[in-house]
Structure formats: structure tokens, C-alpha cells
Amino acid sequence: MHSQYQISSGQPLSSKANRHCLTYIPADAVVPPPYIQSLLTHSGVRRAYRLVKRSEPFTAEFPALPEGAIEIAGRTDVGLVREHNEDSFLYGDLSAGEKFSENNAGIFRVDAVPALLMVADGVGGAASGEIASSLATEVVFKSLKELSDRGALKGAVVIADSLQQAVLSANRAIHIHSRENRVHHGMGTTATIALVVGGMVYFAQVGDSRAYIVRSNVARQMTKDQSLVQRMVDAGKLTLEQAERSEHRNIILQALGPEPTITPEFTRDRLMHDDVIILCSDGLSNQVSAGEIAAVVNEKVDLLAICDALIDRAIDTGAPDNVTVVAGRYLIPMT
């Protein structure tokens, strides 16, 4: 959860804002703050921004892959500072339509059919962020379920297009809700989605929640934060270590809802037996390193235990934000 939501217009941040509060700056902001303006005028930053926004073309198919199963679990915690939990998560079976969320989570197994995993971190304060994140997960699931029923989740290009349609549908739904309900004006949410189908995992990204694949004792980050500090890292203006300590690390460049159009990013990977997919809000990734995530996954087999242990590590650091984790283990039947 990010309890302070602000579209920057060149004015100083509210006195209530602090380093843990997310600030959203539209990509086409007319009057960004002076320090943002100076960054945006730097040619290297502009080039990096185009790279960050560039979507993978999905032009080549992988060889036929064996269908596997995926076991999934999820957990969320309000953390030690926030009063409300504005994170949401969802995972489920797109063929059967069965789904689980923060309200009824347990270990769930999907056998050889499309499966969805998703984490959304709401912004807007009070109930607005919670509504935005919950709406995002529900709309994405419904959209992909309808596309799956029509046989649309076949072939890399079609799958990528289907995933984009689902993300854009969620953005429209949140944007319309925000416009029609003034009390929720400006609400939004991050979204990190993993779609498992045909022995592959396809990721969609808006904002700064994250996805990792843990394989052979290493956690690989599969998504790129749509954030100011990530743009500066791409431009060579910050190291990764400096970005982790930056006072601007909670400034994101995109979210579902605040604007009528967005540009999600996509990546994909072939899944191997015993791969573990980790999706998380920045309440975890800001507090727990990729190495620590890999260590927890390698220490524990039970997926709920993995989620609980990761949340506990974030809480041990002070957990200034809501913390959400969804973990999925991919299994290929032995022949």
C-alpha cells in the first residue's frame, strides 16, 4: 500500500509525505518538479526511457514444451506502519475459472492448463488503493478467462496480445470508476502478472511491484520497475546500490487507473522443473534482496511457508509498507 498518492505538478510534496510514500508522475506531465525536469531533458535519460518502455516483440516461438502443473500460494500483511492494506493478489485456473485471493488464500494446484498469478499494490489512500488493486486483479482474471474460453491463449504473439488486452481492460475499468466516483478520484495500482501456459511464463508489468524466477539457487528479476530510479540506472546516472538507497525510489512512472492509456511491459521465459515464481509488492522488494528471496525458497519446500518467511523478513526490517507475496512452483511430470 502507498497511503499518499499524488500526481506531481511542480508543487512540493505534502508534509505528510515521506520516503515510503509512492509518488506517481505521468509520463507526459506538463510541469514536472525541477529535479525531474532536469532529468527528462538529459538525452541519455530519454534514451533509457524508450528502452524501459519498449515491449518484447514475441516474434519467435519456443520448441514444443511439455505441459506441467503449478502449485500456488499467497500471503499479504499490512506491515508495521500502515493503517490499511491496499495490496491485493489473485491466482487461479483460467480453464475452470477457480480463483483465490487475499480473502480465501490457500495452496492451489493447476494441472496442464493456463494459470494466472497477480500482485497489485494500490495507491490513493484510505479505501481507494484497495479498491483499485482489487478491481485490477478481478478484471485481469475475467478478461483472460474469456480469452482462454475462446481459445486465444495459444502461440506467443496471441498470448502476449491477450495479456495486453487484459491489462488495458483493467486500466479502463479503474479509470472509469475513478471518474465516476469523486471520492476515489486519482486512485491507481501497480500490477505484476504472470500467465503460465504451454510450458512458458509470460509477465506483464505496470509500476514497481516485481516478479522473480528462482532457479538453481538464484533469483532472477523478470520485470523492470517503471520508476524514476530505474530510468536513472538505465541512463548510467545511478548504480543499483545507489538506486536502492535513493530518496526517489518510490516515484513510479505508470500505474493502472490515473490515465486513460498506459504502456505495459512484457517479458517471458521457458519454465523448468521446480522453478519457483515469486511475485511481490515493493513492500518486500524494498526490504529483502533477491539473494535473500532465493535463500528462503531454497530453505523451504512448502509454498505457504515461503510466503510467510519472506513476509517475516520484511517485518524484521521494519516493514514500512504493506507486504504481499505470491509463490508458484512449476512441476513437470516425470516420464
Residue 161: the pLDDT is: 93
Segments of the chain with pLDDT less than 50 = 1-23, 25-40, 42-60
Residue 235: the pLDDT is: 83
| Residue-range definition of the domain harbouring residue 104 | 23-331
Residue 230: the pLDDT is: 82
CATH classification at residue 111: 3.60.40.10
Establish if 142 belongs to a structural domain.
yes
Establish if 96 belongs to a structural domain.
yes
Three-state SS string over the chain comes to CECCCCECCCCCCCCCCCCCCCEECCCCCCCCCHHHHHHHCCHHHHHHHHHHHCCCCCCCCCCCCCCCEEEEEEEEECCCCCCCCCEEEEEEECCCCEEEECCCCCCEEEECCCEEEEEEEEECCCCHHHHHHHHHHHHHHHHHHHHHHCCCCCCHHHHHHHHHHHHHHHHHHHHHHHHHCHHHCCCEECEEEEEEECCEEEEEEECCCEEEEEECCEEEECCCCCEHHHHHHHCCCCCHHHHHHCCCCCEECCCECCCCCCCCEEEEEECCCCCEEEEECHHHHCCCCHHHHHHHHHHCCCHHHHHHHHHHHHHHCCCCCCEEEEEEEEECCCC
Establish if 9 belongs to a structural domain.
no
Number of folded domains in the chain? Answer: 1
Residue 105: the pLDDT is: 85
Establish if 72 belongs to a structural domain.
yes
Establish if 144 belongs to a structural domain.
yes
Establish if 6 belongs to a structural domain.
no
Establish if 307 belongs to a structural domain.
yes
